[in-house]
Structure 1
């Protein structure tokens, strides 16, 4: 664990089923996360290439997860994972998961149940959490269940992204409050940084550069800490079967929706 303060990098042969892994994207600007389920395969949550965040801006083609427009016509012979066009909860081999990543295709291990000191030492968000992980077989069961049954909802950069998916598989925890960001440490860090730089009245209490840096750093660390899923109060443990059942319409609801669609398309008398 001590070596993880400097780097969370892990070799393929050291992976264990149930590990939460990630790969850096766009010159280490952000990371794509998934759950290693053994036999060289990863289950992860994504949108199709070019639609990662659904903003309708150039960012949609800039932020990619595990796919690359350059390889749109390529199908992996091992996992059949199309490089473009797949979305939702998908399973792919490690090579497809790493496609388009930074750092020569390096893999990194997300750490759980870290100490507060370790958490704050890892200033970059999206690499560790104070929350404890469930056993590996439970993690793999959640990931495979969501792969087979669906039910993790629509992809959203701010509410429901690949890191949120991996953290749920590892912990079973979901955020209850609708106004809050999800469990993603990457987004929590970004929010904390904006709050520290732009929103803190404490920065006006000092005029020195050193004092300003100290106050800003302190605000950033506090913001990250209180946003971590391991200390938040607005989280609840939800069984994966319950999560899928809540997201899947019943037969009656499906019939009502279908009838409504037919009625809407019929010409008025």
Structure 2
């Protein structure tokens, strides 16, 4: 795969691949694990693949794929099913283009790919372990979907790495990262009024936030066996605790809590 695109062909797919497809206007991408025989296991919310509980849903839902009125004869789950589901590759792509998520990329390549949700510094586990996690979660669930706190990218990355610190996925950082970077860099207007200097500062803040939010860089990301994960989610022993927002408006990473 090249620097500018992670696009791949169907023929190049192998079981255990983390794949994704951008939706209309490239606002949001849907992620899943390719298992074999044109089947993809992925995490979704009532077939919409989005859900924030805010007005942002109107924008994200409008960017989603058009729903077919005819049910797919090859898919195991109906289109209105939610949670972890298995779909054929055609239904997963919903008319979009196929891309493969990259693992163990170098810091330089990670920062060169300015759009989040396409690669990570983290190392993938073996394909058989990845498929085991995906199939186990298909049977036992991955909890409730939330586009910012626990989404399809978080699901796919967990299947690939076993690492868990739910929240701040790569594409979520991309959606909010630009405006946040501009806000955080605004105090520097007292230092420089040069528009190019301000733009460079905003880009730097955005890149730094992406880098530190990556699962491969989070110091409190932990390896959680899939059998323990589903048990703790079901009993409430594993949850995301949102930190208090400090007065300097920078956002801390949510903490993973086990009891």
User: What TM-score, normalized by structure 2, do the two folds share?
Assistant: 0.84
The superposition leaves residues 69-105 of structure 1 with CA deviations (integer Å, 9 ceiling, x where unpaired) of 4x2x42111124423x110000000001011x4xxx3
CA deviation vs aligned residue, 1:186-209 (integer Å, no higher than 9, x gap) = 112234322210123234421112
Per the alignment, do residues 54 and 188 of structure 1 end up closer, same or farther by CA in structure 2, a change over 3 Å counting? closer
Once the two structures are TM-superposed, the CA of residue 66 in structure 1 deviates from its matched residue by 7.5
> Per-residue displacement from partner, 1:19-69 (whole Å, max 9, x unpaired)?
000001122111000000011100000011458305264725842798644
- In the alignment, structure 1 segments of 5+ residues that lack a partner are 176-180, 251-269
Are the structure 2 counterparts of residues 203 and 172 from structure 1 closer, same or farther at C-alpha, using a change threshold of 3 Å? Answer: farther
Distance in 2 (CA, whole Å) between partners of 1:66 and 1:220 is 25
Change (3 A) 1:222 1:62: closer
Check whether the contact 2:104–2:123 (CA below 8 A) recurs between aligned residues.
yes
- The partner residue of 1:172 within 144, 152, 162 is 162
CA separation of 1:140 and 1:74: change in aligned 2, threshold 3 A: same
Task: Describe the SS at the equivalent of 1:234.
Answer: coil
Pairing partner for 2:31 from 30, 33, 40 = 33
Tell me if structure 2 keeps the 8 A contact 1:32–1:65: no
SS at match of 2:32: strand
Q: How does 1:72-87 map to 2 (within 5 A)?
A: 73-83=69-79, 85-87=80-82
Distance of 2:175 and 2:65 partners within structure 1: 24
Call closer, same or farther: CA 1:62–1:197 in 2, change over 3 Å: closer
Correspondence for 2:83: 88
Of 111, 114, 123, the match for 1:120: 111
RMSD: 2.2
Correspondence for 1:11:
9
Whether the 8 Å contact between 2:131 and 2:159 is mirrored in structure 1 is yes
- SS of match in other structure, 2:164: strand
Unaligned runs of 5+ in 2: 237-259
Match of 1:138 in 2: 129
The structure with the larger Rg is 1
Moved beyond 3 Å, runs of 4+: 64-69
Residues in 2 aligned to 1:140 and 1:233: alpha-carbon distance in whole angstroms: 26
1:185 aligns to 2:170 (yes or no): yes
Which whole-Å CA distance do the structure 2 matches of 1:96 and 1:116 have between them?
34
Counterpart CA distance in 2 for 1:87 and 1:120 is: 33
- TM-score normalised by length of structure 1: 0.81
Take 2:56 and 2:231, find their aligned partners in 1: how far apart are those partners? 35
Give the Cα–Cα distance (whole angstroms) in 1 for the partners of residues 145 and 182 of structure 2.
Answer: 29
Q: Matched residue pairs, number?
A: 235
